[in-house]
Chains A and B, each alone.
Chain A
Amino acid sequence: MADSITVRTSYAFLSEDGTSYERDVSFFSDDNTTASRPKRYIFYASDGATYTALDFSSTQAYHQQLNGAAMCWLVNRDEGRDMYVTLSSASMTETRIIKPGEWLYVDVCEGDQGALGGGGAFTYGAEPFTAVSVFSDFQSARGELFTIYKAAS
C-alpha cells in the first residue's frame, strides 16, 4: 500500500501597481512508493561550530536517514539569526544561507556539482547526500528538520 506524503507550496504576491500573482501546488511526494522512517525534530545550530543536523547512511539511526531517496525539509525557526546550511555529497558542497523564517527543501536527497560546459551543458550524476550540516553566527539559531525516506514499494 502506497503511503503518500503531501507537499503543498503556495504564495500570494501583490505588486505596487496592483498586479497579482498566486500559486498553490500540491503534489504527492511519494505517490507510487512507500514512505517510511519519518524524522521530525527541533535543533539548535551552534555559533561558530558546525552541527550535523542529519547524516545519511545505509543504516538508520537516531541521527541518520537512509541514503538517496529521502525527502528533507529544513526550516530556520529562529526570529533573528541566520543559519548556514551545507548539503554534502561525494563531490558536492552546496552552501545556503537560510534567513529567519526561510527554508531549504529537497524532494530527493541527491545532488551533483561541476562546471558548466558551453551553453550551460551539464551531466547530472546523482550522488546521495552524506550530510546536512548547519551553524549560525554570534548565537545559536533554532531550526526544525523533517525527513522521510521513500523507497519503491
Chain B
Amino acid sequence: MSTFTVTKAIAFTDPDSDTVYDMQASIELDATVCYRDAYTLSASTSMLIFQNGEQPFSTGKVVYVFIHNTGDNSAYIAFQDDGANGATQHEIPAGSVYDFFGQDIWGNVIASPEQLSLIYAKGDTTIEVDIFM
C-alpha cells in the first residue's frame, strides 16, 4: 500500500514585537503514481507540462501538484479544466513553490466542478514539476 504525506510550514516573526506568526499543515493523501519532470521554459512560447489522459499521465483525478521555480526569473502557469472555462493563470516567483490539490477543483462555477485537464507554463526560467495521480 502506498503512503503519501505532504507538509507545509510558513514561518515569520515580527522584527519589532517578536510576535510569532508561524503556521503549519500536514495531510496524508491517496496516490498511486508520481510523475517528476524538469523543464527549461521559454519566455515567449508556452510549454505543455501536463495533459490528463495523455501518456505518460493516466486518465483520472490529479491528487497533488508541486511546481518549484528553480531559475532566476518568474514562471507563469495556466490551468485549464475540462469544462468551458477560461484558463486560470498565476505567477510563480523565482525560487518559489506553487502547490495545489487537484480533485474537483477547477472551474468558475462551484455547482459544476471540473477536472484538471491541462497545465501550460512559460517564462525565462527552469521549473521542476511533480504530479501525483
Contacts from A to B (Cβ < 8 Å): 1, 3-16, 19, 21, 23, 25, 27-29, 31, 35, 38, 40, 71, 73, 75, 84, 86, 92-99, 101-108, 110-116, 119-122, 124, 126, 144, 146, 148
Report whether B86 and A16 are in contact in the complex, using a CB–CB cutoff of 8 Å: no
**A40:B15 contact, CB within 8 angstroms:** no
**Given A38-B21, A115-B86: A5 in contact with B96 (beta carbons within 8 A):** no
Q: Contacting A16 at CB < 8 Å: which of B2, B6, B47, B103?
A: B2
- The answer to whether A9 touches B21 (Cβ under 8 A) is no
Instruction: Report the minimal beta-carbon distance from B24 to chain A, rounded to whole angstroms.
Output: 9
- Asked if B40 lies at the interface with its beta carbon under 8 angstroms from chain A, I say no
| New A-B contacts (20) at CB < 8 Å, excluding given A7-B8, A29-B96, A105-B100 | A9-B7, A13-B5, A13-B31, A23-B66, A38-B14, A92-B88, A93-B108, A95-B109, A96-B100, A103-B101, A104-B100, A107-B98, A108-B93, A111-B90, A112-B88, A113-B86, A114-B89, A116-B78, A124-B76, A146-B23
> Contact between B25 and A101 (Cβ–Cβ < 8 Å)?
yes
Q: Which of A25, A98, A110, A116 has a CB less than 8 Å from the CB of B91?
A: A110
Q: Once the chains bind, are A106 and B2 in contact (CB under 8 Å)? A: no
Q: How far is A122 from B31 in the complex, measured between Cα atoms in Å?
A: 31
Which residues of chain A are within 8 angstroms of B11 by Cβ–Cβ distance? Answer: 5-6, 8
* B8-A122 in contact (CB<8A): no
Judge whether B48 is part of the interface by a CB distance below 8 angstroms.
Answer: yes
Specify the chain A residue showing the minimal Cβ separation from B36: A21
**Chain B residues packing against A (C-beta within 8 Å):** 1-12, 14-15, 21, 23, 25-28, 31-34, 36, 45-48, 64, 66, 68, 76, 78, 80, 86-93, 95-101, 103-110, 113, 118, 120, 122, 130, 132
Contact yes or no, A11 B6, CB < 8 A: yes
B28 closest partner in A (C-beta): A101
Cβ contact of A95, chosen from B93, B103, B108, cutoff 8 A: B108
Q: Which residue of B lies closest to A126 (CB)?
A: B91
Known: A6-B12, A108-B91. A15 touches B32 (CB 8 A): yes
**Residues of B contacting A11 in the complex (Cβ-Cβ under 8 angstroms):** 4-7, 64, 66, 130
Query: Looking at chain A's contact residues, is the secondary structure mostly helix, strand, loop, or mixed?
Result: strand
Cβ contacts under 8 Å, A119 to chain B:
45-46
Contact B88 A75 (CB under 8 A): no
Central interface residue in B2, B4, B107, B110, by most chain A CB within 10 Å? B110
A to B CB contacts below 8 Å, 16 in the list:
A4-B12, A7-B97, A8-B10, A21-B36, A23-B68, A25-B68, A29-B96, A73-B23, A95-B107, A95-B108, A95-B110, A99-B103, A103-B25, A107-B92, A112-B88, A113-B89
